[in-house]
Amino acid sequence: MGRKTFESFPKPLPNRTHVVISRQNNYQAPAGVIVVHSMEDALDASKNDIQPFIIGGGEIYKQALPLASKIELTRVHATFDADTFFPEIDRTQWKEVASKIHANDAEHNHAFSFLTYERK
Ligand SMILES: NC(=O)c1ccc[n+]([C@@H]2O[C@H](COP(=O)([O-])OP(=O)(O)OC[C@H]3O[C@@H](n4cnc5c(N)ncnc54)[C@H](OP(=O)(O)O)[C@@H]3O)[C@@H](O)[C@H]2O)c1
């Protein structure tokens, strides 16, 4: 994840290894968080992970999408003001292989879909 995404969490997420990418050579993160300074080093740090995910934000998604083989996307069925975006998914390169719609309910204000895309 990008440094800005990492800093948007109140604390590191449970039960997973965090790899944070920053151009700041002296960037300090809590113990256990792996800090790297290039996308190449981020991928290298994750290479023995059974199921590594690139989890954003917008800058990182943009740089990493050409390297990805699968996209797990949650699309919220509502419109919001936003300043950060997931890149456009080029349907000539990606095919939707799974889609599951969830209605809004007591725990979710908006309906949403879980979508899976694989590279063609
Ligand atoms: N809805 C979602 O699925 C989702 C997921 C993740 C995040 N988000 C949101 O996205 C926002 C953050 O996204 P963002 O695009 O502003 O930032 P970001 O992608 O999280 O982080 C950008 C930072 O990553 C570092 N970086 C980027 N490319 C690098 C490279 N090639 N080499 C080394 N370091 C690199 C730089 O850190 P330095 O400035 O330290 O050098 C840069 O400022 C937050 O609001 C977060 O809540 C949403």
Go through the chain and tell me how many residues it has.
120
| Residue 85 and residue 74 in contact, taking contact as beta carbons nearer than 8 Å | no
Q: Whose CA is nearest to atom 26 of ligand 1?
A: 22
Q: Is the CB of 3 under 6 A from ligand 1?
A: yes
- Interatomic CA distance for residues 100 and 92, integer angstroms: 22
| Of 53, 29, 58, residue with least CA distance to 43 | 53
Look up the pTM and report it. Answer: 0.95
What's the gap in Å between 62 CA and the centre of ligand 1?
A: 10
pLDDT at 113: 98
Domain residue ranges of the chain, discontinuous segments joined by +:
1-68, 69-120
Token reading at 89: 């998914």
| Residue 117 and residue 70 in contact, taking contact as beta carbons nearer than 8 Å | yes
The domain defined by 1-68 folds into Dihydrofolate Reductase, subunit A (3.40.430)
Q: What is the DSSP string of 68-118?
A: -SEEEEEEESS----S--PPP--TTTEEEEEEEEE--BTTBSS-EEEEEEE
- Could you list the pLDDT tens digit for every one of the 120 residues in the chain? 999 999 999 999 999 999 999 999 999 999 999 999 999 999 999 999 999 999 999 999 999 999 999 999 999 999 999 999 999 999 999 999 999 999 999 999 999 999 999 999
Token reading at 75: 């699309």
What's the gap in Å between 65 CA and the centre of ligand 1?
A: 14
